Amino acid sequence: MLSQRIEEAINEQIMWELYSAYLYLSMSTWYESIGLRGFASWERVQFQEEQAHALKFLDYIIARGGRVILRQVDAPQAEWESPRKGFEHQLEHERLVTSKINDLVDLAIEEKDHATYNMLQWFVDEQVEEEENATAILDKLRMIEEGGGSGMLYMLDKELQARVYTPPAAEKSA
């Protein structure tokens, strides 16, 4: 059984995961509107991943006998100055989510909730990957801007279009 504090904190995290999904869907539609279909496709995969993250938290609360209470999700930003600015925003957002996950880990330690601590380790690892992906693309966008290469932007757009959504592996039942 979850403590009230942990249940409330995970319910809050579900909101952040859904906000992330909403943000990346917004980014996808913006990239589509400026003709970067590969970027749009990449962000749509991000959208799907964030939805899966929210469901993973939701299912965890239910499995532990808790109550899911969905919270309002704010409208995300709808446009950016450039693809680089979009990915700067994405990296900043992922760092915020990382801090939220770290706060949950700290709370699980404080509450001596070993099951929640264990479940959260998947998210800790996932956030390393999320920040790494955003940083790698941002680094490429900076190189493209410095080199003034629209052809390079076209190549990056094609590279990003190749990404496909892979659902997280099913958890072992307890």
Instruction: Spell out the domain ranges in the chain.
Output: 4-161
The whole-angstrom separation of Cα 109 and Cα 120 is: 11
The whole-angstrom separation of Cα 76 and Cα 26 is: 7
Could you read off the pLDDT of 52-87 as tens digits, one per residue?
Answer: 999 999 999 999 999 999 999 999 999 999 999 999
Residue pair 2/10 in contact (Cβ under 8 Å)? The answer is: yes
Helix (H, G, I), strand (E, B) or coil at 82: coil
pLDDT band of residue 165 (cuts 50, 70, 90) is: confident
| pLDDT over 70 (residue 171) | no
Q: Give the DSSP H or E segment for 137.
A: helix 114-147
Measure the CA angle with vertex 137, ends 133 and 140; round to 5°.
145
| pLDDT over 90 (residue 149) | no
The upper half-sphere exposure of residue 148, i.e. CA atoms within 13 Å in the direction of its Cβ, equals 0
- 148 dihedral zone (left: phi>0; alpha: psi -120 to 50; beta): left
Could you read off the pLDDT of 101-126 as tens digits, one per residue?
Answer: 999 999 999 999 999 999 999 999 99
CATH number of 4-161: 1.20.1260.10
